[in-house]
A and B are shown apart, each in its own frame.
Chain A
Amino acid sequence: MRLPPVAPIVRAKLGSAPANGHTTFLPQIRKLVVEYCDRWPSSDNTRTFLLNHIEDVARQNPHVEVVVRQRSHKEPIIRGFYVNQRDKVVPLNGLEVTQIQKKIELLLDSSGAKIKPLKKTVESTTEAARGIWSGLHAERPTL
């Protein structure tokens, strides 16, 4: 009797899937760069934020490398660099200091993954917990 062929296990492909948060959590953001201009008025609020609040942000988030950079004659921005080697850039012109703080929080909480619209209601690595219904295993209907 011919049995189905068996594919060999290749050692180089033996790996595991990540489960961030099951035991320990690795924050996904690694660097935050705030870029401002010294002269232009669009950077006024950003400069106020940098003078008053950026140190607190850096102290409360020791896992993030906080960098302040000059970006002359341009609008102020923040860049967040993530562990998946992607970055997010958020412009800060027209924002108040509290709104800038919100944008900082947005970048700190983000995972850096591309924002894709979710098509399915549930996305999971495992099958349904209660099992898939089978007509052959269900109870026969009784009158």
Chain B
Amino acid sequence: MGHVHQRLASTTARLASSLSTAHLSKFPPKDLLFVKGREIPTATIDPDTWASLQPPPPTALSAFAHRIGLSSVLTSTEVIQQVCTHPSFLQLFKQHTPHERDPATNGQLAAIGNSLMGLFATEYVRATYPYLPTRVMKAAVTAHVGPLPCANVAQEMGATPLIRWQRSRGTLLKSGVLHSDALASIPRALTALVYQQRSLPSARQFVHSYFLSREVDLRGMIKFLDPKKALLEMVKKFQRELPKSRLLKETGRYSNSPVFVVGIFSGEDQLGEGFGSSLKMAEYRAAEDALLRVYLTRIPPHLVQLPSQTFPVGVGDVYKKAQEGDYKPPDLVESEIMYASSGNSFTHST
């Protein structure tokens, strides 16, 4: 068996949860048993496929609803079942049980939830980091509510044994469905359900507590092509004196481990400081430090003003007419510098 087949087999074994049969009305199914009168026993269905068609036990679904704190929103097992059924499951279901009613899937809910999550994440990142460049803000939104964190949160919630889905290869016209795609649809569907059953502020609370409280490394997302050039542009935008780098401290200049500490100044104000084993390295780091001090300026959580807080609190959708919430718009800050802000992920300009 080649290594690709081995990996597929081990992944399938890991994902195939042991089926609990207590809640099933007919077990074992007659199809899978030996049929008398035939020489060779034939089963109409493969046991693994049969297992993947079975619904999870209602006790597991109810426990899931309580674990995520939405037992009052997800009142019936059918709703939780809908949230945990990916649209890819429909084809498998129709193929093997054509005479039964189609199960409800979470496709539409996931689409609504995805839009809501994007809204909440964008306004939060913008309000918390007003000086962040646009491309970094987009990356931060993906890091908070993108497909990977959605799949991770679904796994942490314990939705892996509850999801009903079908793996499919990507074709030219349709993209494939992987386990992480199926899992990612669950938190999105939950967000949409919270919005539908309660209100937009409640959905925002759900997204803030499960996604926007997670740790995201913004520093790692801010990459510089030429920080000295970028700092020069920024200083001109803020109409300050041109940056000048000065050596603050040094030690071991001609030894095998020198350390230089360089500060970048605009007039008398120090903008940034950097260390390095060469003067150029220290100056580069000082320029990076100066830019990061601007980009990562953070508004403290108690002063953050989110535009969606104008939506009235109380059960109802966004069209409900009620007393609007207070919102104090923040002051407009200087726009971002144009150097190396094409919006694409970084590639070297030739």
* Chain A residues packing against B (C-beta within 8 Å): 1, 3-20, 22-24, 26-27, 30-31, 62-67, 83, 85, 125, 135-137
Q: In the complex the two chains form, is B152's CB within 8 Å of A18's CB? A: yes
Counting CB contacts under 8 A, is B242 at the interface? Answer: no
Bound CA span A66–B226, Å:
59
B348 touching A16, Cβ below 8 Å: no
A125 / chain B contacts, CB cutoff of 8 Å: 215
Q: Are B156 and A19 in contact (CB under 8 A)?
A: no
Compute how far the CA of A135 lies from the CA of B275 in the bound complex, rounded to whole angstroms.
12
Contact A30 B67 (CB under 8 A): yes
Q: Say whether A15 contacts B156, CB under 8 Å.
A: no
Tell me, in angstroms, the Cα distance from A137 to B347 when the chains sit together. Answer: 37
Residue of A nearest to B69 (CB): A24
CA distance A30 to B62 in the complex (A): 11
With both chains docked as a complex, state the minimum distance between the C-beta of A80 and any C-beta of chain B, in angstroms: 12
Q: How far is the CA of A12 from the CA of B184 in the complex (A)?
A: 13
Chain A residue with the shortest CB-CB distance to B250: A136
Instruction: Please pick, from B68, B139, B216, B280, the residue contacting A26 in the complex, using a CB distance under 8 A.
Output: B68
- Whether the pair A6, B158 counts as a contact (CB closer than 8 A) is no
In the complex, the answer to whether B146 meets A14 with C-beta atoms within 8 Å is: yes
Contact B69 A62 (CB under 8 A): no
Interface centre among A10, A30, A65, by most B CB within 10 Å?
A65
Which residues of chain A have C-beta atoms less than 8 A from B22's C-beta?
A: 67
CB distance B261 to A19 under 8 Å?
no
CA distance A23 to B211 in the complex (A): 10
The yes or no answer to B11 lying at the interface (CB within 8 A) is: no
Distance in Å: Cβ of B53 to nearest Cβ of chain A? 21
Which residues of chain B from 146 to 192 have a CB within 8 Å of any chain A CB? 146-149, 152, 155-158, 160-161
B223 within 8 A of A: yes
Contact residues in B for A8 (Cβ distance below 8 Å): 345-347
Secondary structure class of chain A's binding surface, majority of residues? loop
- Check if B20 sits within 8 Å of A3, measured CB to CB: no
Q: How far is the CA of A65 from the CA of B161 in the complex (A)?
A: 13
B71 near A3 with CB under 8 A, answer no
CA distance A122 to B21 in the complex (A): 45
B216 near A16 (CB under 8 angstroms)? yes
Residues of B in contact with A (beta carbons under 8 Å apart): 14, 20, 22, 57, 59-60, 62-64, 66-69, 71, 139, 142-144, 146-149, 152, 155-158, 160-161, 208-211, 213-216, 221, 223-226, 249, 251, 259, 261, 275, 280, 284, 345-348
| Known A17-B215, A62-B63: A30·B158 in contact at CB below 8 Å | yes
Given A7-B346, A67-B20, A85-B160, do A19 and B221 touch, yes or no (CB 8 Å)?
no
- How far in angstroms is the closest Cβ of chain A from B225? 6
Contacts of B259 in A (CB 8 A): 136
Contact assessment for A62 and B71 in the assembled complex, using a CB-CB cutoff below 8 Å: yes
- In the complex, A10→B142 CA distance in Å? 11
**Complex: how many Å from CA A135 to CA B60?**
58
Q: Please name the residue on chain A nearest to B212 by beta carbon.
A: A23
B63 lies within 8 A of A31 (CB): yes
Q: How far is the CA of A62 from the CA of B223 in the complex (A)?
A: 47
Q: Which residues of A contact B160 (CB under 8 A)?
A: 85
B60 touches A14 (CB 8 A): no
Docked Cα-Cα span, A136 to B252, in Å, equals 12
Q: Which of B144, B215, B224, B249 contacts A6 (CB 8 A)?
A: B224
**B63-A85 in contact (CB<8A):** no
Q: Which residues from chain B contact A3 at a C-beta distance below 8 Å?
A: 225-226, 284
A135→B139 CA distance, assembly (Å): 37
Query: Within 8 Å CB of B67, what residues of A?
Result: 26-27, 30, 63
Chosen A-B contacts, 15 in total, with CB atoms closer than 8 Å, are A5-B348, A6-B223, A6-B346, A14-B148, A14-B221, A15-B149, A16-B143, A16-B152, A17-B215, A20-B156, A23-B209, A24-B209, A24-B210, A63-B63, A67-B59
Q: How far is the CA of A89 from the CA of B145 in the complex (A)?
A: 35
A31 to chain B: which residues have CB within 8 Å?
60, 63
Chain B contacts for A15, CB-based, 8 A: 143, 146, 148-149, 152
